Amino acid sequence: MARHADIVIHEVDEALQALIRQEALNGADVEVSFDAPSREWASRRNAPTIDVYLYDIREDLRRRERGLINEYDNGRVVARKLPPRHFKLSYLITAWTQRPQDEHRLLSAVLSCFLRHDRLPDHVLTGGLARLTSPVPVSVALPPPEDRSFADVWSALGGELKPSLDIVVSAPTETGQRYDAATLVTEETPRLRMASRDGELGEAAGGPRRRPPSIASPS
């Protein structure tokens, strides 16, 4: 039986937002946005902003597992499911203010925040992320893959190149493929009794054999 997968992308968004607000901004009056930083969006912005733009989603094939995972109830296997798949969510983080120096200070605070964590801390995880036992690794400012450059991202957005941080979160996601185990049979199979040619009674399933009561011969 298959069930819907736990989709965790929005929960990663919430975790990143909580972590940035708590450890990078420290209560500063700065917005956290997830909009695409296009030229049109930048022209409408009127407050200091940290933009966390999700621009790429790819499976982390190095963390794919094979086989099935057993689910237990009172020591008995009740179902089997496929292990979670891990997806790399890549975010482009930029700072937007009236002065480049202020933008650099905000980026420095965000960089310091993520350098303190090689995984998303438990206190910012919610929903499906909190229920999974696997950690949620996070990396910051690593070189991009060979098939992608940040200049290409900015070109696709139609905006001007800005200083940015690349945050990559490897999020485990349940596949939703779960299969109920076979029901354990606890009732005994009825045994058939049969009579042999010599009149002895026995059980078809190998039960004890017995003779009919003897009849005394006449004197």
Cα–Cα distance between 48 and 95 in angstroms, integer? Answer: 8
Tell me the per-residue pLDDT of 82-95, one tens digit each, with 9 for 90 and over: 677 889 999 999 99
By three-state DSSP, how is residue 77 classified?
strand
pLDDT at 155 over 80: yes
Average pLDDT over residues 125-143: 87
User: 127: closest CA among 208, 7, 219, 33?
Assistant: 7
Asked which of 36-50, 113-127, 150-164, 199-213 is least confident by mean pLDDT, the reply is 199-213
Cα–Cα distance between 107 and 61 in angstroms, integer? Answer: 30
pLDDT at 218 over 60: no
pLDDT at 207 over 80: no
Could you tell me which residue, 103 or 158, shows the higher pLDDT?
103
Cα–Cα distance between 127 and 18 in angstroms, integer? Answer: 14
Asked which of 22-26, 125-129, 167-171, 212-216 is least confident by mean pLDDT, the reply is 212-216
Average pLDDT across the chain, whole number: 80
**What local confidence, expressed as pLDDT, does residue 160 receive?**
79
Tell me the per-residue pLDDT of 101-115, one tens digit each, with 9 for 90 and over: 999 999 999 999 999
pLDDT at 2 over 50: no
Cα–Cα distance between 104 and 96 in angstroms, integer? Answer: 9
**Spelled out in words, what is the top-level CATH class assigned to the domain 9-177?**
alpha beta
**What local confidence, expressed as pLDDT, does residue 44 receive?**
92
Query: Beta strands 85-96 and 49-59: pairing type?
Result: antiparallel
Give CA 108 to chain center in angstroms: 30
pLDDT at 50 over 80: yes
